[in-house]
Chains A and B, each alone.
Chain A
Amino acid sequence: MDMSLQLLSSLVSVLGQAAPTPVHLYTAIGAGLGAGLACIGVGIGIGRIASSAVESIARQPEASGDIRGAMILTSAFIEGVCLFAVVVALLAVLNLRP
């Protein structure tokens, strides 16, 4: 267990040659996992928005202007939620937590 941790940390220090500040291994793994998992929800959400928007445009092409506007607006909101998680991950990695 200890040797695999050492192996992992040496791998991270080789790959992370551009690492600015020293950070715990678990902090880096946690930040990466957190930011990545947040993108799963966003992908599903924006996919559903896009699918229902495209379907409604197919059903009623003369409303496509309104539908396109609503699609872009709601996608921006949901993208914001993913970026909240990215901000938290960045805070963890940059040692800015209290």
Chain B
Amino acid sequence: MTLGLTASLVGWMGSMASGASNPMDHVVDGHLVFDTEHHFLWSIGLTKQTFMLLLAGALTLLFFWGRAREASSRPVPSRWGNLVESVLDFIKAQLTRPFMGHHGDKFVPLLSTFFIFILMCNLLGLVPFFELLGHGSNTATGQLAITGALALCAFCTYHYLGIKEQGHGIWAYIKNLFPHVPIFVLPIIIPVELVAHIVRPCALAIRLFANMLAGHVMIAAILGFTLVFTSDFFLPGLGISLVSFVGITALTFLELLVAFIQAFVFTFLTTVFLAGAVHPEH
């Protein structure tokens, strides 16, 4: 009974500390807390989500820092090197080898950078203490501009690598993008394939953005129930905030799973598109 009371009190105070009862305020971008004079940092583009993006980039760099030098100088990897090798081996065995065979081994560093970077962005959004760093969301991938930029990077990368690997120039690559069918089917095939090629990176961007946004909106909405109900009636509000506390804990575990899965899905689809660009099967 006291445990339930303290849990609901904690939930209530947490939602009071979070400020607004509007869940969308917690998932849109905001200015950093040290951005005081006339929002100078905001005007040059350094918002809280952009700061998280830079932090995730620094963490990705730290993840791989020095492992290549160590891998070529030691016979047995160290503990951190073992972790990095297991991630790279996972990507090689599950993603690159099934789709591209041995030719695809040169793309493992690229794909693992995508994977670790998106994973770091997603995971930074789950850390609660970054609430203190400013207002708004701390999930960099919860903004369509950032995931759109990532998808654009992936798009340019796999087309560039496809042109380079096929080796016959841009026009032959574009002709290889469409299946070789009899000429009377071409007026149907060309618009369909063109739309498919344009929609794929858009789907990548929206899938990652929507998954990250939806989780945080749900968490913010359930926290908002606590605030709304305790501001009117205290005692039923305690019961509701206990339920919402349990719900938020479960949802945060689900968000952790979704962070890993969505990073993997982005990398998986980039691998599939890269394989289609490098070795077109039709």
Contact = CB atoms under 8 A, between A and B. Distances in A.
A78 B139 CA distance: 22
Interface in A1-22: 17-18, 20
4 nearest CB pairs, A to B: A83-B210, A80-B207, A18-B21, A76-B261
Interface of B: 21-25, 94, 203, 206-207, 209-211, 213-214, 224, 228, 258, 261-262, 264-265, 268
B207 A83 contact: yes
Decide if the interface of chain B is mainly helix, strand, loop or mixed.
helix
Contacts of A33: none
Decide if the interface of chain A is mainly helix, strand, loop or mixed.
helix
Nearest to B144: A87
Contact of A17 (B25, B211, B228, B258): B228
Contacts of A73: 261, 264-265, 268
A76 B228 contact: no
Contacts of B23: 18
Interface string A32-58: 000000000000000000000000000
Size bracket, chain A contacts: 10 to 19
Nearest to B24: A20
A79 B22 contact: no
Contacts of A20: 22, 24-25
Contacts of B265: 73, 76-77, 80
Given A18-B21, A20-B22, A20-B24, A83 B214 contact: yes
Contacts of A72: 261
A18 B214 contact: no
A69, A73, A76 pick with most chain B CB within 10 angstroms: A76
A84 B219 CA distance: 19
B211 A79 contact: yes
